[in-house]
Structure 1
């Protein structure tokens, strides 16, 4: 009996595995889904900027990029690979105009298209963060209307999807593998994320300046080069702040092994992969976002709304060993029950039957 086939509709999983350059959280999650489907005996395809190849048991197809007439090449490539592979399922994640043409082809060839929400703004009209010209956003919205299956990360996404598109969904938080390779010494308070205004990295810089008794480390790619340079410059004048700059996914995993606390200062998020990197190691999170109130309801760290509250909560947590240990135990229980790859894959497959 031939294997079922799935296309994980993204480019960069191979770069992530090989530590080649910058990759976003979306690709990290798609990598986990690719290996989850592979383990379930699917033949898994995805895209690469390089040549066609089989790597780590996954099949990578070259997706050509052109600056001129890019939408034409996107359309041709999408039609070509769906016709060539003839997958049973396509997993699509994140806001993109390409969803429209993929949804049309999937309808024609009776392919099950699953759209996975990557951010709370994916289903919020006017805030979808679709790059390029205004018609890109219109195509993305049409793609959502054409799509039958949706996996959202939290209740907010589900509510916005239903309100704006009249679409039902299944809630599946991000998946991750439990980690057991933490080092003996866990001394770092860390911030990991791309340097963008909405991430508010300067909150973390200010925090390290306020609390000189702790060791802080921050890392990420310079999406906003001016903001990145300013944070780097300030960090050079703060003795207890180590500014790493861009690091690979594997390097971030090693950083989390040495961490005792993760700080998130974003204005909004979907379900950050950094939370799972932390919770897979029983590391609490102090965060300005709390997806579906998970942090507060499950004692996974602290939710804060201001810089002053961030500083106060951190100092309380660092001084209260009993409270910290209780959080670690809560995180271990929560993670085992809520981010199991096999369980959520089975739930997704049952949903689209």
Structure 2
């Protein structure tokens, strides 16, 4: 890292302040620095696809991979100054295969894996953090704990401590096997962080600003430090592969830019209203709307509620096996 990053005054001042707040004196002469000596693998998502990828671009042309890299480099500076050993999967706007990113983390025996991303959807009003862990929440408890801290810090830094966030399994969007980089690094506490939506015009404008990128990097840094400062990090169990859950078909990436995807929240609210009114025909329509909402936005902050209402409707329809499957999805994928 020292050969890659400069030691800016802003970074030094921030580290000095934050470390003084975080560290506690242990014996009168030494203090506890939770990130010192930790190997942190930072993965700036995507890269090198501007000529071939028209999906990951904001309203005025800012590309996701550029934002991801800026934030990753700033986070790397913060961690380096705090004494962590930082490993980056890329340092320029170049294409790195997904399997190679996982390999880099494994070969460097990373203590933590953070893949930095930013999100897109058809609804330009949508803007909140989404954090993914791999597989089952019950098996991957360490990553769930990390994801919660990252989500809370992102809300604090970027959204003034207000608004929702989603913490979900990567099986919600890749129902067959989860995401490649998290699957490939399973066993290392790790998450994919989608800090905000570059498809929001206001957010895209902010994401172009170095000061805003710095705030996001600080959120990740604080979350990582808080994670390692905990008295006991939860375990990661050997995963059941594959999970015995029937895949729930959802829209994939560019499909989520389709017009019907814009109605994800309206469909949830209408479905919820119809469910409360009751009646056989209304329940059928409610179920269809709730299903469409989840398909359109399976990792939204209302997706869990959609699944929970689907369970109640299935119970009234006496569909016992379908109820069990839905309850498993909620238990494993929506902690």
TM over 0.5: no
- Structure richer in strand, relative to its length: 1
TM-score (norm 1): 0.28
User: TM-score normalized by structure 2?
Assistant: 0.29
